[in-house]
């Protein structure tokens, strides 16, 4: 029995297709496995943060026993319920505990208890943010039709978001400082190949969770956005930039996040700047940056995607899709209109 050249070609193409699909399926299954591990670990971290909050709440209840015995007893019961609750009931009981904490007058508490409660609340906020980021990334892949058809997620249950009430006035409820007027100047610093310089860091209070972000930081009193951007470039990379070469601001992002025991509401304005590729220096780091920034990397869109998939979130969220826009802003050489991003 003989085969024609066309038949051999067709069979070869089919084999190549099957091999490509197999490699994709294997790669996706491995990626999902890592994402499931990330989701599990992020839930464990959140569970530990919530448990620690319950312990602190009991201490707060004990501290207010003499002045408010009824409220003290209610706080103790809610903290006990939160620790014993199953996963499916956890949101309900934790939100009940959050509501009770909102009514506490921190002026009646000892300063040490106020600090411990603020720390516990900050850790819950951070852990919840990273858990929900992990869930989002896992569900994004699990929801793809081909992934569902091929059962690449295996028998692992779908992870679920954890929603917990956040205080409208966190500073009054927990002692966390909320700076509602903080403005940050950030820079999408690109080299000649189009790669962006990202810094790797973590909250000094949560060193086990790392993430990536663009160059930049808070604007000082009396400082312009452009001057702040140039200063931050010099501090975080050692590069002296010409403020006239900056393009922007082009994007605006508002974020609320806890950092180093402080709850921050930051309005971030993004500039774009292209420079020749260079190796950043840490010599200009501030004291906080020396503790919070642990590395750097020049990344293209694909590499940013891989960081997100590996569980190391990149901020802003859609930076991989925004790089082309930043490059276009630089190429046009004109100041763009500011638009909002995530």
The CA distances from residue 204 to 19, 27, 260, 290, 313, in Å, are 46, 34, 6, 10, 17
**Which pLDDT does position 2 carry in this prediction?**
58
Q: Collect all residues with Cβ–Cβ distance below 8 Å to 11 and sequence separation of at least 6.
A: 3
Looking at residue 178, its pLDDT comes to: 43
pLDDT at 169: 42
**pLDDT, tens digit, 9 for 90 and up, residues 141-151:** 887 788 888 87
d(CA 131, CA 331): 38
What pLDDT shows up at residue 107? 65
Q: Per the confidence metrics, is the pTM higher than 0.85?
A: no
pLDDT at position 337 is 81
HSE-up of residue 317 (Cα within 13 Å, Cβ side):
12
DSSP 30-99: HHHHHHHHHHHHHHHHHHHHHHHHHHHHHHHHHHTTTT-HHHHHHHHHHHHHHHH--HHHHHHHHHHHHH
Residue numbers in the chain where pLDDT is lower than 70: 1-3, 64-67, 105-107, 165-181, 256
Confidence at residue 303, expressed as pLDDT on a 0 to 100 scale: 96
Cβ-in-10-Å burial (0-12, 13-18, 19+) of 120 comes to: buried
Question: Cβ-count burial of 336 within 10 angstroms (0-12 exposed, 13-18 middle, 19+ buried)?
Answer: middle
Residue with tokens 């403020």: 243
Say how far apart CA 141 and CA 33 lie, in whole Å.
11
């Amino acid at each position: 029995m003989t085969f024609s050249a066309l038949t051999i070609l067709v069979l070869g193409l089919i084999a190549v297709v099957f091999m490509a699909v197999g490699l994709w399926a294997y790669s996706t299954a491995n990626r999902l496995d890592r994402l499931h591990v990330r989701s599990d670990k992020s839930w464990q971290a959140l569970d530990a943060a919530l448990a620690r909050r319950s312990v602190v709440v009991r201490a707060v209840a004990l501290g207010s026993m003499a002045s408010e015995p009824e409220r003290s007893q209610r706080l103790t019961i809610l903290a006990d319920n939160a620790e014993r609750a199953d996963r499916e009931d956890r949101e309900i009981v934790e939100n009940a505990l959050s509501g009770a904490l909102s009514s506490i007058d921190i002026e009646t508490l000892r300063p040490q208890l106020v600090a411990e409660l603020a720390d516990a609340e900050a850790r819950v906020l951070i852990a919840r943010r990273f858990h929900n980021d992990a869930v989002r990334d896992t569900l994004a892949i699990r929801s793809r039709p081909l992934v569902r058809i091929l059962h690449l997620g295996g028998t692992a249950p779908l992870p679920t978001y954890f929603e917990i009430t956040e205080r409208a006035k966190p500073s009054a409820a927990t002692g966390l400082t909320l700076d509602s007027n903080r403005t940050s100047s950030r820079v999408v610093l690109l080299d000649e190949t189009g790669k962006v310089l990202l810094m790797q860091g973590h909250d000094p209070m949560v060193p086990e969770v790392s993430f990536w972000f663009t160059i930049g930081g808070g604007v000082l009193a009396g400082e312009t956005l452009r001057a702040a951007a140039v200063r931050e470039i010099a501090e975080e990379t050692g590069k002296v930039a010409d403020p006239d070469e900056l393009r922007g601001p082009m994007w605006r992002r508002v974020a609320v996040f806890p950092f180093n025991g402080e709850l921050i509401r930051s309005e971030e304005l993004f500039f774009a700047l292209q420079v020749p590729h260079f190796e950043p220096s840490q010599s200009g780091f501030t004291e906080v940056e020396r503790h919070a920034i642990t590395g750097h990397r020049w990344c293209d869109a694909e590499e940013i995607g891989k960081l997100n998939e590996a569980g190391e979130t990149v901020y802003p969220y859609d930076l991989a899709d925004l790089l082309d826009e930043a490059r276009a802003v630089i190429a046009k050489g004109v100041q763009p209109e500011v638009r909002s991003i995530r």
